[in-house]
Amino acid sequence: MTSLIPPGCPTVLTEDDRTGTSVETLRRAFMDNLFFVQGRFPEVATKNDHYLALAYTVRDRLLLRWLNSAKTYRDQFSRTVCYLSAEFLLGPHLGNNLINLGLYDAVAEAMQQTGLDLNVLLDQEEEPGLGNGGLGRLAACYMDSLATLEIPAIGYGIRYEYGIFDQEIRDGWQVEITDKWLRYGNPWEIARPEITLPVKFGGSTYSYTDDQGRYRVVWQPHQMVQGIAYDTPILGYKVNTANLLRLWRAEAIESFDFQAFNTGDYYGAVNEKIASENITKVLYPNDEQLQGKELRLMQQYFLCSCALQDMIRLYLQCSSDLTRFHHKFTVQLNDTHPAISVAELMRLLVDEHLLPWDTAWDITRQTFAYTNHTLLPEALEKWPLPLFGSLLPRHLQIIYEINQRFLDQVRLAYPGDQERLARLSIIDESECRYVRMANLACVGSHAINGVAALHSELLKQTVLRDFYELTPEKFSNKTNGVTPRRWMVLSNPGLTRLISNHIGEDWIKHLDQLRRLEPLAEDAGFAAEWHAVKHKNKVRLAEYIQQRVGISVDPSSIFDILVKRIHEYKRQHLCVLNIITLYQRLKDHPNLDITPHTFIFGGKAAPGYYKAKLIIKLINSVAEVVNTDPTVADRLKVVFLPDYNVTCGQRVYPAADLSEQISTAGYEASGTGNMKFALNGALTIGTLDGANVEIREEVGAENFFLFGNTVEQLQEIWRNGYRPWEIANNNPMLKRVLDLISCGHFSHGDTELFRPIVEHLWQNDRYCLLADYQSYVDCQEQATRLYRDQKQWVKMSILNVARMGKFSSDRAIREYCEDIWRVQPVHVPLADTSYIAQ
């Protein structure tokens, strides 16, 4: 290629095939990749070849920005946020990268010129499901915002070979299928086999005094594996910043144990290799439920050790003075899953880099901050001491030392208060002994936060109360947010275009700008367009439902949607009670004039959580009866969408009229689906729980359907002795609904099937469905009645969107940057790439 640019000018100004962005260059680069990377000529290329050729074309453009970012950070020794998380639920990369590069339309055009449909290629991508739900998805939104805000950041996580299982529904039951997401390769990652770090497990320790009189401890492990880095660039929206997501895969240090092999134990030798690789084999599919499995602790420690060793390695490339480690890095612990980092950093600094304990402890505490995501007691991580000690003997010693010094301070603050001491201790001494990970995280961090205002308050009053009383200055709230790039621009192009036509595009980076839509809520022409966009999105979802589960739904019925993990506290079965109530009313009065209603569910249950799986079966059983009953035909439909994931979410949120956020008050820490729905113009029916409280505050009480008991009211109910059976016996409709389930109406006469659900509601009802039932049914009726007034509904929908600015993950990340991380943006110039040519 001849260049018109004088020698010495950055070559990036020319349209070369790896960085150019014109339609013609993109088309040529795509054909080049199809030929030279995929090894295909057009006539025989498969859809997957096309997808990969395009992915590599896009990746080249990412790499240009990524390398520039990495070089800028290195040259400036930039302060860097490290987000440590056992889960990153990224969702498909291709569409998102096209949006953030600003190349979506150009690439669509280039594909069209090649005779291809970009949408078909987008559908080819298997999403990396390296997370369970909200917590992992939050990490992904935060990575997007960090890059968009030009904050130097590294996400550290685990490269699970199998992500969250794929869900199939057979005979109404959930069936789990392994998620082989790497089957056809992953074009978005770059393996770094030269970045390999050793991780030790088991064995014992011994101590000695070295020739300089220092007390030293040596850990002699029983097993050693190595972590290999896999890097994925995370590009910000229309900036040059591309940050690093570094996921670790475990491998045996040597492929064979030659000693075992030579003595004839071939299987033993290979087994060792398999055992090592098992560490990163599969994501534990439990959402908010601790499974105290040894392999899970190994995963956690493996992640933390790799991440911290890597940070120290990067640090030492630029400075030998580790006492300033916390000036270069600030580390956020995404829940307690990576909390073992506190002990691991101490070990690395004290044992391996020979820093005095007090110095190391100062660095450690100034390095870490901890986010709590749940108040559920069964999710609070604690590890039995014998298990912990046998896997991490040195860490147990370090934790004892940390604990002893910490409890000495507590004794000074609260002389004689033994009970408080026992509650604050990192070691749970009651019955069996445990290591309490939340206590370790609190003691080892300089900042502690919850994820919504209500949640942060409850944290201070309940699970972390003693820590709050001891160090109130560490506590703050950081209400969650979601990225408008994936959750509007990518998933809802219709609404994005309509909004941008009226208020420009600034809102994509400054979501508060949506306020400028408020006056348009009164504009009939705008409202008509708004309604048309929503209707089109509903038609699209209806087509998908038809194709996926063979149920035909009416796009002008109200789309009432509940998608999230299946859990009793999220109360999917409360929604079912209302459906059966409606069904009953229609059976009683076949001519009843109700708003045509489509209920749509989606979500996975943890494979070992029987009740949650039974709830899925209940939804499908009710769907079967309702959808085939001619009396209710066309007025009531129930759909369970199988395999709910990020990709499915992108179809669902834009098509919702009503968003179900119906958890028992006090149980949902924040929720983020609630934000995605409202941002896409759905109205919310919800309790005063998690971020619902703040969403309602922002959009206005008059634009939100509130029902149910508050946290305080529920506390009162339990204090007075909660008697759900009395509620059921005093509410004829509720009793009929429960009886209808019990008598086998939805289970082909089987009276046993749903007994565990119904009996629990009658007798115990831990999540207070019955206490909230009537209020929910009434509120549902109010919402569906209002839906008939489309003018009013659309106005409320516009006002909801206009007032959702607060819930951008950009706002959340700005708060973390200012209050916790104290980190500044670093502008990345798209500089000279002439070194490529040298």
Which span (69-77, 127-135, 312-320, 457-465) binds ligand OX2, by CB under 6 A?
A: 127-135
Do 754 and 580 form a contact (C-beta atoms < 8 A)? no
Single residue of 163, 602, 671, 724 touching ligand OX2 by CB under 6 A: 671
Which span (116-124, 133-141, 351-359, 821-829) binds ligand OX2, by CB under 6 A?
A: 133-141
Q: Beta-carbon neighbour count of residue 95 at 10 Å?
A: 23
Sign of CA dihedral 787, 792, 793, 796: negative
CB of 730 to ligand OX2, least distance (A): 33
CB nearer to ligand OX2: give 179 or 287. Answer: 287
Which span (99-107, 116-124, 267-275, 667-675) binds ligand OX2, by CB under 6 A?
A: 667-675
Q: Containing H/E element for 219?
A: strand 215-220
Which value, to the nearest 10 degrees, does the dihedral of the CA atoms of residues 438, 441, 443, 444 take?
170
- Compose the 85-124 pattern: x for residues touching ligand OX2 by CB under 6 A, - for all others: ----------------------------------------
690 near ligand OX2, rule: CB under 6 A? yes
Which value, to the nearest 10 degrees, does the dihedral of the CA atoms of residues 654, 288, 714, 465 take?
-120
672 near ligand OX2, rule: CB under 6 A? yes
CB of 396 to ligand OX2, least distance (A): 24
CB nearer to ligand OX2: give 171 or 378. Answer: 378
Structure tokens, 354? 């020979």
> What beta strand segments (E) does 578-693 contain?
597-602, 636-641, 658-661, 683-686
CB of 682 to ligand OX2, least distance (A): 17
Residue corresponding to tokens 């009645």: 785
CB of 819 to ligand OX2, least distance (A): 17
CB of 288 to ligand OX2, least distance (A): 4
660 near ligand OX2, rule: CB under 6 A? no
- Distance (Å, whole) CA 35 – CA 39: 5
CB nearer to ligand OX2: give 304 or 727. Answer: 304
Q: What is the DSSP letter of 486?
A: I
Which value, to the nearest 10 degrees, does the dihedral of the CA atoms of residues 548, 549, 555, 558 take?
-120
Single residue of 379, 489, 517, 658 touching ligand OX2 by CB under 6 A: 379
Taking alpha carbons only, the member of 489, 477, 449, 447 closest to residue 144 is 489
CB nearer to ligand OX2: give 479 or 581. Answer: 479
| DSSP H helical ranges for 159-265 | 258-262
144 near ligand OX2, rule: CB under 6 A? no
CB of 454 to ligand OX2, least distance (A): 11
CB of 331 to ligand OX2, least distance (A): 18
251 near ligand OX2, rule: CB under 6 A? no
Which residues, in sequence order, are CB contacts of 386 under 8 Å at separation 6+?
A: none
Amino acid at 142: Y
Sign of CA dihedral 161, 164, 168, 172: positive
- Compose the 449-478 pattern: x for residues touching ligand OX2 by CB under 6 A, - for all others: --x---------------------------
> What beta strand segments (E) does 473-612 contain?
475-477, 558-563, 597-602
- Distance (Å, whole) CA 181 – CA 160: 10
Site for ligand OX2 in 732-771 (CB under 6 A): none
- Specify which residues 84 forms β-bridges with: 156, 333
| CB neighbour class for 614 (10 Å; exposed up to 12, middle 13-18, buried from 19) | buried
Which span (313-321, 600-608, 666-674, 817-825) binds ligand OX2, by CB under 6 A?
A: 666-674
Do 108 and 118 form a contact (C-beta atoms < 8 A)? yes
CB nearer to ligand OX2: give 335 or 657. Answer: 335
CB of 667 to ligand OX2, least distance (A): 8
138 near ligand OX2, rule: CB under 6 A? yes
335 near ligand OX2, rule: CB under 6 A? yes
Single residue of 135, 269, 290, 527 touching ligand OX2 by CB under 6 A: 135
Q: Are strands 242-252 and 223-235 parallel, antiparallel or unpaired?
A: antiparallel
Residue 187 backbone phi and psi in degrees, to 5: -70, -10
Residue corresponding to tokens 């506590």: 475
Q: Which residues belong to the active site?
A: 373, 564-565, 570, 672, 676
Which span (128-136, 246-254, 517-525, 784-792) binds ligand OX2, by CB under 6 A?
A: 128-136
CB of 371 to ligand OX2, least distance (A): 7
Taking alpha carbons only, the member of 152, 279, 150 closest to residue 224 is 279
CB nearer to ligand OX2: give 231 or 819. Answer: 819
Size of the site for ligand OX2 (CB under 6 A): 18
381 near ligand OX2, rule: CB under 6 A? no
Residue nearest to ligand OX2 (CB): 134
Backbone φ/ψ region at 237: left (φ over 0), alpha (ψ -120 to 50), beta: beta
649 near ligand OX2, rule: CB under 6 A? no
Residue 593 backbone phi and psi in degrees, to 5: -90, 90
27 near ligand OX2, rule: CB under 6 A? no
129 near ligand OX2, rule: CB under 6 A? no
Structure tokens, 808? 């951008």
Residues that bind ligand OX2 (CB under 6 A): 133-135, 138, 287-288, 335, 373-374, 379, 451, 480, 668-672, 690
